[in-house]
Amino acid sequence: MKLNKRKINYLINKKKQGVSSKTIAPHLKITKRRVNQIWKQYQITGKTPVIGKKAGRPIVPLNEEEGKIVKQAYLSYRFGARMIEPILRKRYHMKISHNRIHKYLLKLGYANENYRKKRRRRWVRYERRHSLSAGHIDWHEKGIDGSMVCAIIDDSSRMILAGGEYSRQNTENSKLVVDQVVRKYWHISPLRELIMDRGGEFGAHRTDEKGDWDGEFKRYLEGLGIHPIRIRRQHPQTNGKIEKWFDCYRAHREYFNSFNDFIQWYNNRPHGSLDFERLQTPEQAFWERLPEGRILGMAFQYLGWNDL
């Protein structure tokens, strides 16, 4: 139960009467320790404690040196305050709370108040154990200079496996993005599954009487040994990893000269859904999460030992 002015006055009056904290606490549905905290504060200040919004210690603004380093960290990683805090601690050996960082980023215009994030949300973490177990593919219609953007993200490592900016959103260009994955990673391991929405560019919008679907893109994937998976209707969370990446694309793509430069930056900066204590990047996670034996097999292939 939240305390208010009336309840705090009741608590103080009872303590003045000599009533024990153990007796007062159950009546107000708070702990005995909390009763003692409020009573002690009243004894020290002689004033009724103020409980509620804006009742804590004021946030101390950053000094010039702290501000310089926070700005440098933001321009390097383009993270919000919550993720810049551990980066400052590990990379710059500087301890600044994320609240102070956020206030400074707001002042610079690098952050905005997001009231949705202030609500408590239910969140279930889901990811594949190994890299290349599954990927997510999707299109985004608001690329740089009006282009259409398509990308494939690895479900486990969050690394962008392939992508591009195209003039048209269609099946042929979707196949070109899959071709990039084949060229880059088939010598390591084929991509097992590819998750997509029910868009027409994937031919996944048509369903027969049995609930099955077919199309040129699906047959193309199956020919490569990739199992295509459609997300459920009205359940975009299934493809949430690639949707979240599109948020990052919208926010930061304009600061890079090319799409490939942006992908290199994204894949090699720490990711909040990975091992952030180690500042793990999607690129690092991709190689570390490959199935056992894949790296050894690549070494044998590179050294020509497979012919022995």
Q: Confidence class of residue 289 from pLDDT cuts 50, 70 and 90?
A: very high
Residue 203 has pLDDT above 90, yes or no: no
Mean pLDDT (whole number) for 268-279: 91
Mean pLDDT, all residues of the chain: 85
Quote the pLDDT of residue 118: 56
3-class SS letters over the chain:
CCCCHHHHHHHHHHHHCCCCHHHHHHHHCCCHHHHHHHHHHHHHHCCCCCCCCCCCCCCCCCCHHHHHHHHHHHHHHCCCHHHHHHHHHHHCCCCCCHHHHHHHHHHHCCCCCCHHHHCCCCCCCCCCCCCCCEEEEEEECCCHHHCEEEEEEECCCCCEEEEEEECCCCHHHHHHHHHHHHHHHCCCCCCCEEEECCCHHHCCCCCCCCCCCCCHHHHHHHHCCCEEEECCCCCHHHHHHHHHHHHHHHHHHHHCCCHHHHHHHHHCCCCCCCCHHHCCCHHHHHHHCCCCCHHHHHHHHHHCHHHC
Mean pLDDT (whole number) for 197-225: 78
Percent of the chain with pLDDT over 70: 84
Quote the pLDDT of residue 163: 96
Quote the pLDDT of residue 308: 44
pTM of the full structure: 0.73
Quote the pLDDT of residue 102: 93
Most confident of 1-15, 43-57, 204-218, 271-285: 271-285
Q: Mean pLDDT lowest for which of 28-32, 114-118, 263-267, 287-291?
A: 114-118
Quote the pLDDT of residue 197: 86
Q: Confidence class of residue 175 from pLDDT cuts 50, 70 and 90?
A: very high
Greater confidence, 268 or 214? 268
Question: pLDDT per residue over 234-253, tens digit each?
Answer: 566 678 899 999 999 999 99
Question: pLDDT per residue over 154-167, tens digit each?
Answer: 999 999 999 999 99
Residue 121 has pLDDT above 90, yes or no: no
Q: Confidence class of residue 50 from pLDDT cuts 50, 70 and 90?
A: confident
Residue 139 has pLDDT above 70, yes or no: yes
Q: Confidence class of residue 191 from pLDDT cuts 50, 70 and 90?
A: very high
Question: pLDDT per residue over 60-112, tens digit each?
Answer: 889 999 999 999 999 999 999 999 999 999 999 999 999 899 999 999 999 88
Residue 297 has pLDDT above 60, yes or no: no
